[in-house]
Amino acid sequence: MVNLLDLDAARLAAFFASQGEKPFRARQVLRWMHRFGQADFDAMTDIARSLREKLKELAVVGPPTVVSDRLSGDGTRKFLFDVGGGNAVEAVFIPEDDRGTLCISTQAGCALDCSFCSTGKQGFNRNLTVAEIIGQLWQARHALGAYQPAANSAERAVSNVVLMGMGEPLANLDNTVLALRLMLDDNAYGLSRRRVTVSTSGLVPAMDRLRDECPVALAVSLHAPNDRLRDELVPINRKYPLRELMPACLRYLEKAPRDFVTFEYVMLDTVNDSEAHARELLALTEDVPCKFNLIPFNPFPGSPYRRSPAPRIRRFAELLMAAGVVTTTRKTRGDDIDAACGQLAGQVLDRTQRTTRRSFVLHQNGHEVCG
Ligand code: SAH
Ligand code: SF4
Indicate the residue among 39, 60, 81 that finishes a domain.
60
Q: Has 160 been labeled as part of a binding site?
A: no
Instruction: Please work out whether the CB of residue 164 comes within 6 Å of at least one atom of ligand 1.
Output: yes
Domain co-membership, 38 together with 72: no
What CATH number should be reported for the domain holding residue 29? 1.10.150.530
DSSP, collapsed to helix, strand or coil, labels residue 295 as strand
Q: Of 45, 60, 75, which residue constitutes the final position of a domain?
A: 60
Ligand 2, atom 6, residue with closest C-alpha: 120
Q: How confident is the model at residue 30 (pLDDT cuts 50, 70, 90)?
A: very high
Q: Tell me the CA–centroid distance for residue 296 and ligand 2, in Å.
A: 16
Average pLDDT, the chain: 90
HSE-CB of 229 using CA atoms within 13 angstroms:
17
The proportion of the chain whose per-residue pLDDT surpasses 90, expressed as a percent, equals: 80
CATH of residue 73's domain is 3.20.20.70
pLDDT band at 332 (very low <50, low <70, confident <90, very high): confident
Neighbours of 341 (CB within 10 A): 27
**Looking at the structure, do residues 47 and 177 belong to the same domain, yes or no?**
no
Same domain, 71 and 33: no
pLDDT band at 340 (very low <50, low <70, confident <90, very high): low
88 lies in the same domain as 41:
no
Do residues 26 and 157 share a domain? Answer: no
pLDDT tens-place string over residues 50-84: 999 999 999 999 999 999 999 988 889 999 999 99
315 and 337 belong to one structural domain: yes
Asked if residue 20 has pLDDT above 80, the reply is yes
Q: 212 φ, ψ to 5°?
A: -80, -30
Which residue minimizes the CA distance to atom 26 of ligand 1? 363
Say whether both 122 and 97 belong to one domain. yes
**Confidence check: pLDDT of 344 > 60:** no
Q: Are residues 31 and 136 in the same domain?
A: no
**Has 199 been labeled as part of a binding site?**
yes
Q: Cα–Cα distance between 264 and 129 in angstroms, integer?
A: 26
Number of domains in the chain: 2
Which of 60, 79, 96 corresponds to the end of one domain?
60
The reported pTM is: 0.92
Query: Which pLDDT score is estimated for 360?
Result: 35
Q: How confident is the model at residue 342 (pLDDT cuts 50, 70, 90)?
A: low
**Is any ligand 1 atom within 6 A of the Cβ of residue 168?**
yes
Q: pLDDT grade, residue 264 (50/70/90)?
A: very high
Q: Do 50 and 83 have their domain in common? A: no
Write out the residue range of the structural domain in which residue 161 sits: 65-365
pLDDT at site 112:
96
Tell me how far CA of residue 86 lies from CA of 66, 99, 139, 350, 351, in angstroms. Answer: 14, 33, 20, 9, 9
Q: Is 90 a catalytic residue?
A: yes
Query: How many whole angstroms separate alpha carbon 99 and alpha carbon 369?
Result: 12
Radius of gyration over alpha carbons of the chain, in Å?
A: 21
Question: For the residues 194-209, what does the mean pLDDT come to?
Answer: 98
Residue 152 has pLDDT above 90, yes or no: no
Residue pair 328/293 in contact (Cβ under 8 Å)? The answer is yes
Between the CA of 119 and the centroid of ligand 2 the distance, in Å, is 7
Report the alpha-carbon distance of residue 227 to residue 242 in Å, rounded.
Answer: 6
Residue from 90, 132, 264, 368 carrying the catalytic annotation: 90
- pLDDT by residue (tens digit) across 292-322? 999 999 988 889 999 999 999 999 999 999 9
Answer yes or no: is pLDDT of 35 > 50.
yes
Residue 371 lies in a domain: no
Q: At what angle do helices 23-30 and 9-18 cross, to 10 degrees?
A: 130
What distance in Å separates the CA atoms of residue 168 and residue 2, rounded to the nearest whole number?
Answer: 26
Query: Does residue 355 lie within any of the structural domains?
Result: yes
Domain assignment of residue 370, yes or no: no
Pocket residues for ligand 2 (CB within 6 Å)? 110, 112-114, 117, 119-120, 167-168, 201, 221
3-class state of residue 296 by DSSP: strand
Which residue has a Cα nearest atom 2 of ligand 2?
A: 168
For residue 259, is it within any domain?
Answer: yes
Q: Does 90 lie in the same domain as 25?
A: no
Same-domain pairing of 82 and 225: yes
Q: Are residues 128 and 217 in the same domain?
A: yes
